[in-house]
Chain A
Amino acid sequence: MFRCILLLGIMVATSAPAAAVVSIFACEPEWAALAQEVGRELVEATSATTAMQDPHHIQARPSLIARMRRADLVICTGAGLETGWLPLLLRRANNPQVQPGQPGYLEAASAVSLLDRPQRLDRAEGDIHAQGNPHIQMNPNNLTAVAKLLAQRLSIIDPDKARQYQTNLDGFLSRWQLAIDRWEQAAAPLKGMTLVVQHRSWVYLSHWLGLERVATIEPKPGIPPGSGDLARLVAQMERQPADAILYAAYQDDRGVTWLSEHTGIVGVELPFTVGGSEVAQDLFGLFDDTLNKLLAVAP
């Protein structure tokens, strides 16, 4: 009995310093990775989704509710990407610290200008997002902006360590900017490359590197292609072949495979986020791998 109490005492004592670590709930792996870069040992970031999951279609699972209950900071893409599950999680998690409007709630999309804002808001256009395309992580410059905002929020939540967050941010951004310069140089041959995409996941990547989307396999965002859609794509590719077909690791590759077989255009699976491939185990690997895979099929 006494040993039990002693053990419990030790557990409580050893768990106390752990509470000082800022617990970060990220909706997507890229934000968990970014939070870990900016927070380093001062934070513990976990992602609600993996690179194999579609961030549009997540359910408010019990494990996520429990995790958000104890979070000090929630960082999500926002811009409607998690509209089906994040509001419900926020309500179920009973955590006043991370409600919208609090420093503990951060929408990454609020730090950047969104592209692809729909001209017409109508569900007949598919599962579109009113504020613009939310897949912002595929332009590394967007991550720079989000990193700064994140460091600012961490300094508010954990003011004693503000200086350290600043140092971490400076360190990360200097490495990140060097990498961006390197990527931009390496990606020069990709300029003007024409693409067919499964879903409009690559708007920011295309904008950054000067790629050109000529067709989308999904007839409307969120709607799988039918045989008619694929036949039309084949006809289009016969007239004007694209250089590659892009799809994210989590996306259904059947349409891509079929189109690739019928047009001879190579399909390229890109990681899309951290954990999406063997190489993409951190943010640097994400872009290294993405560029290498694109360069391998560049015209």
Chain B
Amino acid sequence: MYIRRVVIVLLGAVSGSTVTASELTEIDLLRDELSEIRQAYEARIQALEDRIESLQHAPEKSVAVTDVAIPEAAAVQEKPGDFNPSIGVVLVGTAAGFSPDNEFAVPGFMPGEEAGQGEDGFSVGESEINAKANIDDRFFGNFTLAVADEDGSTEVELEEAWFETLALPHGLKLRGGRFFSGIGYRNQFHRHADDFVDRSLPYRVFLNGQYLDDGIQARWLAPTDLFVEVGAEWLRGAKFPAGGSGHDGKGAWSLFGRAGGDIGVSHSWQAGLSWLSARAKDRDSGDGDNFDGDVDLALLDGVWKWAPSGNPYRNNFKLEGALFWQNQDGVFTPDSGGALDYDEDQWGGYLKGVYQFMPQWRAGMRYAWVDTDDPGSAFTGTSLDTLGVSPKIYTAMLDWSHSEFSRLRLQYSRDDSDVKAVDRFYLQYIMSLGAHGAHQF
């Protein structure tokens, strides 16, 4: 608008001599207008220059709290993938050599189907894909599929499918869906976050490696300096050590509590006590054995970590241990038939240490054992016959991580859990793609 008038004025000036009186008055008006605009602009420019000057040279001048300039992000069109959850893939594979390659068995115990320590030879073990994201401002969701080879066929297993609350008051949190039970320290870790190729013997024998099930979980975090968390779960009871979804699909419950903290800047610890009570309804174990009854499990565990000045980059050490107690009370039906009343206590435990002796390199040792009452002569010839064995395994490992996302591991186990000892050698890779994994304590 203004520009057009200015152009008219200029054109008028150029076309020059032949102007009428009325045109002259119009030109004067336009000139006045132009000079007004010029003055207004000059005043504004001066004001802006003054402001720049004052900001540059008068530090004492206060800046209003509300007047904060937050750089705006470049305006980019929203893409369909922008709201996709963070996706992470973990590739795990092993090459194993067992000598001799016996069928997995622990005399005197009823281990579940996944209690073994992997396949002999090459296998991709358990690779998984995980997706997680905030659902909205109140809920968070997590989904994990694990792919594993079982008896020659590749099986996809739903490992985790849960949501949890983000904004409950008073330190409360609720979770629902399928999840790793909150019992025990190690139980909540994904396998690829372990320090050894296989889970410790008591975890395998008592919890089938890892107890996961469908249900709900409530947790409460105390408002104290010391970390104190307590929780309870009510679960379907479909998975080992429960089974058969007893009590109309509400066959297991658990209670757990843990405490933790730092000692100085270099040490941190956590200790916990857990209880699991499960109904095992026609639970299969081993080769056609069957158990029907109640399972109670108590688990006391702890972990202690050390890093000089709390900086684990060059050296760090982790000591982890657990004690298990279990009672199974019910009816045992061996492969050969004939129901037997069974009510015995069993124990187990493990202790492991992992030391990072230089950047990227760690070495670890583990001792694990289980023990059971002898159920008596009625069980002779069944898998619950202890055969005089006190099962134990010694394990050593060495691993190397080029970056946070890749790890190669070498492991040797002297497996004394059966009548005849087995030497087990493993070479394993663990590779993480995509979303950055969480640094779980």
Residues of A that sit less than 8 Å from B by CB: 49-50, 52-54, 57-63, 65-67, 69-70, 80, 83-85, 87-88, 91-96, 99, 101, 110-113, 123, 126-127, 145, 148-149, 151-152, 155, 162, 165-166, 169-170, 173-174, 177-178, 181, 220, 222-224, 250-252
Please choose the segment from B24-32, B90-98, B164-172, B199-207 that sits at the chain A interface, where 4 or more of its residues have CB less than 8 A away: B164-172
B331 interfacial by beta-carbon distance below 8 Å? no
Please choose the segment from B33-41, B216-224, B380-388 that sits at the chain A interface, where 4 or more of its residues have CB less than 8 A away: B216-224
Q: Among A67, A85, A101, which residue has its beta carbon within 8 angstroms of that of B438? A: A85
Interface string of B404-420 (1 = CB under 8 A from A): 11000000000000000
The answer to whether B260 and A52 touch across the interface, beta carbons within 8 angstroms, is no
The answer to whether A148 and B68 touch across the interface, beta carbons within 8 angstroms, is yes
Residues from chain A with a CB closer than 8 A to the CB of B229 are 65
Interface extent on B, as a size class? 35 or more
Residues from chain A with a CB closer than 8 A to the CB of B305 are 59
Chain B contacts with A in 263-281, Cβ cutoff 8 A: 265, 268-270
CA A127 – CA B403 in complex, angstroms? 8
Given A62-B227, A69-B171, A94-B171: A99 touches B437 (CB 8 Å cut-off): no
Residues from chain A with a CB closer than 8 A to the CB of B437 are 84
Give chain B nearest CB distance to A35 CB in angstroms: 15
Cross-chain pair count, CB within 8 angstroms:
153
Residues from chain B with a CB closer than 8 A to the CB of A155 are 65
Q: Among B137, B265, B360, B440, which residue has its beta carbon within 8 angstroms of that of A60? A: B440
Q: Among A54, A59, A112, A170, which residue has its beta carbon within 8 angstroms of that of B440? A: A59
CA A59 – CA B311 in complex, angstroms? 10
CA A99 – CA B312 in complex, angstroms? 28
The answer to whether B402 and A223 touch across the interface, beta carbons within 8 angstroms, is yes
The answer to whether B309 and A50 touch across the interface, beta carbons within 8 angstroms, is yes
Residues from chain B with a CB closer than 8 A to the CB of A220 are 403
- What are 5 of the A-B contact pairs (CB < 8 Å)? A52-B311, A59-B440, A66-B222, A110-B70, A223-B402
A62-B270, A155-B65, A173-B63 known, 18 other contacts, Cβ within 8 Å = A50-B310, A52-B265, A52-B310, A54-B313, A60-B441, A62-B260, A63-B262, A66-B260, A69-B221, A69-B222, A84-B438, A85-B439, A91-B164, A99-B167, A148-B63, A152-B66, A223-B402, A252-B359
Residues from chain A with a CB closer than 8 A to the CB of B269 are 62
Residues from chain A with a CB closer than 8 A to the CB of B51 are none
Residues from chain B with a CB closer than 8 A to the CB of A110 are 70
Give chain B nearest CB distance to A83 CB in angstroms: 5
